[in-house]
Structure 1
Amino acid sequence: MSGLRGPRPDNQAPGKRRPRDPLFAAVAGAFPFVPPLLDFFLQYLAAERRLAVNTLAAYQADLFSFFSFLARHSGGPITQLDDIGPDHLRAYLAACHRDGISARSNARRISALRAFFRFLLGEQLLKRDPSALLDLPKPGRALPKVLSMAEVDLLLAPPAQPTPLALRNHAMLHLLYATGMRVSELVKLPVAAVNRAGHLRVLGKGTKERLVPFGEAARQTMAVYITQGRPRLLKRRRSDFLFVTSRGTAMTRLRFWQILRDRALFCGIKRAISPHVLRHSFATHLLEHGADLRAVQVMLGHADIATTQIYTHVDTARLKAVHRKFHPRG
């Protein structure tokens, strides 16, 4: 196989695993040619396709999962990438299935492998694409989980004690439901992104900016937090981030997840809840009340309207449930 045609990735390449990572060490030990090619691919995804850091990490995890399997179950010597064939991919998929990995996750892993092989083929670093003839059934799309309006009301009820942390949490929950933002967008939101007229400038996937409106209820909770809660959290410190911790640092996705989980338990919401459930609820409730699908797509930041159309299926499922419950011959 010829050498790399692009610049060799440095130690700060997107998604690059540290040499002390056991999985990295296992793959690098079995296939020393893989890590440089993988770093080259991740740099391409970051620079040319402008994929988000979380997406790059997912690509890396899926690819290392495959090569880790191959290191243990290759069934023969693999000294270069061209030694990998469709049978290796089928064996990997079968092992994933035996391990209880869902069809959707398997499809995602193969999508990562296909993108990797096609990239190397285009760079003339691969003679043939082992995934080209692989026939994968398309997994059905699971309907997103959605909160009822009663559950939303419980979740967004004013805090009993208006402490700075309670005001912050209340504002974050209100804003997430009011805008349908991703949690990664919420925790990185700068103060300057908030427009007092009721709009947010959100930096989404691929660093694409979009303008998202929010209503009066969210505006009021934000105003209370900004004037009363945030200054007391920051004290005399400065931060560009809208939502900060008690130490004045930016919020994290994990911390917000914990806040949401604790709030749901406190409100008596028994089922599992995540930040994305609020995003799903935002879209579904808008469509249920007559919003235009294209407008919801823009607010969610979906590049393809087909991604947004799943929420129309949720509404259809709800209508069917109502029909079965109330129609005399349902």
Structure 2
Amino acid sequence: MLLDEFLDDLTAQGKSPDTIQSFKGKILEFARFVGEVDVAEISAEDIERWRRTLRRRMKENSTTAYLVAVRCFFNWLERKKIYEANPFHIVKIKRAQDPPREYLEPPEINTLFAHCRSPKETLIIALGVFAGLRAIEMFRLRVEDVQPDKLTVHGKGDKIEDVPINPSLRSLLTVYIVGGFAGPETLLGFSRGHIRNVVINVGKRAGMKVSAHILRHTFGTHTIRVSDLETARVLLRHSDIQTTAIYLHTDARRLRNTVADLPYTLN
């Protein structure tokens, strides 16, 4: 069977068992789609129809992975001179895109603050980037939850936890409360949906796509950059450190700084 020969060739090239099984599954799915036809009868249109089918049930990067597996098989057939009319000479595959960055860098945070139009908007952004609060936690925050050195956060599952207050956030909270901007029952006086919309609208004015989740992700990302994973887990109030691990980013700056900060030099 041609597929078995192809997979044996991948093994000989040193491909991992996981890669080989992944390719096999994707190629077999394509075979089921086209049905029992000779490989020589498969056209570029068949592949385009399959692409459209895949796009209806998966993201673009996943669709690309399926197409790449099948393309490798057809390229192998062509190299072996088993089938020279390779339809992938016609079918083009877009390079897989990196997932969108779900956190803000310091200049973007400054731009976001610059586009706030009220003390409430400024405080909402600050609660996200300086304390990592979720929208529901901002909504539940009361004046009495604000203390000189900590915030009492009413989190998911009715968990109540204290988190330290960043100096910039403390100053904002003081001005906000003393200035009489707090709501009658809650600190912000907004619904959870309204809080989410505030973040989105400030982001639009700043020319960015921002959400309350991205503000929290920003806090988590920069906390890890200046401390460690366990510290970030505690500050983000995660019960499982694996949840915190999604905030790790192997970006170019982090890699450069890690190498530059090695604790030894050549004298």
TM-score bucket (shorter structure):
0.5 to 0.7
Letter in 2 for 1:194: V
Identify the match of residue 242 of structure 2 among 301, 306, 323.
306
**TM-aligned CA distance change 1:318 to 1:279, over 3 Å:** farther
Residue 206 (1) aligns with residue 157 (2) = yes
Which residue number corresponds to residue 255 of structure 1?
Answer: 194
Identify the match of residue 146 of structure 2 among 187, 191, 194.
194
Which residue number corresponds to residue 23 of structure 1?
Answer: none
Which residue number corresponds to residue 243 of structure 1?
Answer: 188
Residue 171 (1) aligns with residue 123 (2) = yes
User: Which structure 2 residues correspond to residues 19-30 of structure 1 after superposition, within 5 A?
Assistant: none
TM-superposed deviation, 1:157: 3.3
User: Which structure 2 residues correspond to residues 287-326 of structure 1 after superposition, within 5 A?
Assistant: 287-289=224-226, 291-312=227-248, 314=249, 316-319=250-253
Which residue number corresponds to residue 132 of structure 2?
Answer: 180
Letter in 2 for 1:259: V
Paired with 2:220 and 2:56, the residues of 1 have a C-alpha distance of 34
Paired with 2:144 and 2:153, the residues of 1 have a C-alpha distance of 11
Taking every aligned residue pair, what percent have the same amino acid on both sides?
28
Q: TM-score, normalised by structure 2?
A: 0.55
Which residue number corresponds to residue 280 of structure 1?
Answer: 217
Cα deviation per residue 1:55-80 (whole Å; 9 max; x = unaligned)? xxxxxxxxxxxxxxxxxxxxxxxxxx
Paired with 2:155 and 2:101, the residues of 1 have a C-alpha distance of 20
Paired with 2:225 and 2:156, the residues of 1 have a C-alpha distance of 26
Identify the match of residue 106 of structure 2 among 129, 134, 149.
149
Unaligned runs of 5+ in 1: 1-95, 104-141, 161-165, 245-250, 324-330
TM-superposed deviation, 1:309: 1.2
User: Which structure 2 residues correspond to residues 1-330 of structure 1 after superposition, within 5 A?
Assistant: 99-100=56-57, 145-157=102-114, 166-197=118-149, 199-230=150-181, 238-239=184-185, 241-244=186-189, 251-267=190-206, 269=207, 271-289=208-226, 291-312=227-248, 314=249, 316-319=250-253
Paired with 1:100 and 1:296, the residues of 2 have a C-alpha distance of 35
Paired with 1:259 and 1:143, the residues of 2 have a C-alpha distance of 21
Q: TM-score, normalised by structure 1?
A: 0.46
User: Is the contact between residue 220 and residue 247 of structure 2 (CA under 8 Å) also seen in structure 1?
Assistant: yes
**TM-aligned CA distance change 1:215 to 1:278, over 3 Å:** same
User: Is the contact between residue 211 and residue 299 of structure 1 (CA under 8 Å) also seen in structure 2?
Assistant: no
Unaligned runs of 5+ in 2: 1-52, 61-98, 258-267
Paired with 2:224 and 2:251, the residues of 1 have a C-alpha distance of 13
Paired with 1:143 and 1:317, the residues of 2 have a C-alpha distance of 13
Letter in 1 for 2:210: I
Letter in 1 for 2:197: Q
Paired with 1:210 and 1:288, the residues of 2 have a C-alpha distance of 23
Cα deviation per residue 1:254-297 (whole Å; 9 max; x = unaligned)? 21222112212222x3x4211110111101112222x1211110
Cα deviation per residue 1:5-25 (whole Å; 9 max; x = unaligned)? xxxxxxxxxxxxxxxxxxxxx
**TM-aligned CA distance change 1:204 to 1:159, over 3 Å:** closer
Say how many residue pairs are matched.
Answer: 167
TM-superposed deviation, 1:179: 0.6
Paired with 2:137 and 2:152, the residues of 1 have a C-alpha distance of 10
TM-superposed deviation, 1:206: 1.8
TM-superposed deviation, 1:212: 1.1
Letter in 2 for 1:155: L
- Which protein is bigger by CA-based radius of gyration? 2
TM-superposed deviation, 1:97: 7.0
Which residue number corresponds to residue 73 of structure 2?
Answer: none
Paired with 2:129 and 2:241, the residues of 1 have a C-alpha distance of 20
User: Is the contact between residue 210 and residue 298 of structure 1 (CA under 8 Å) also seen in structure 2?
Assistant: no
Which structure dedicates a bigger proportion of its chain to helix? 2
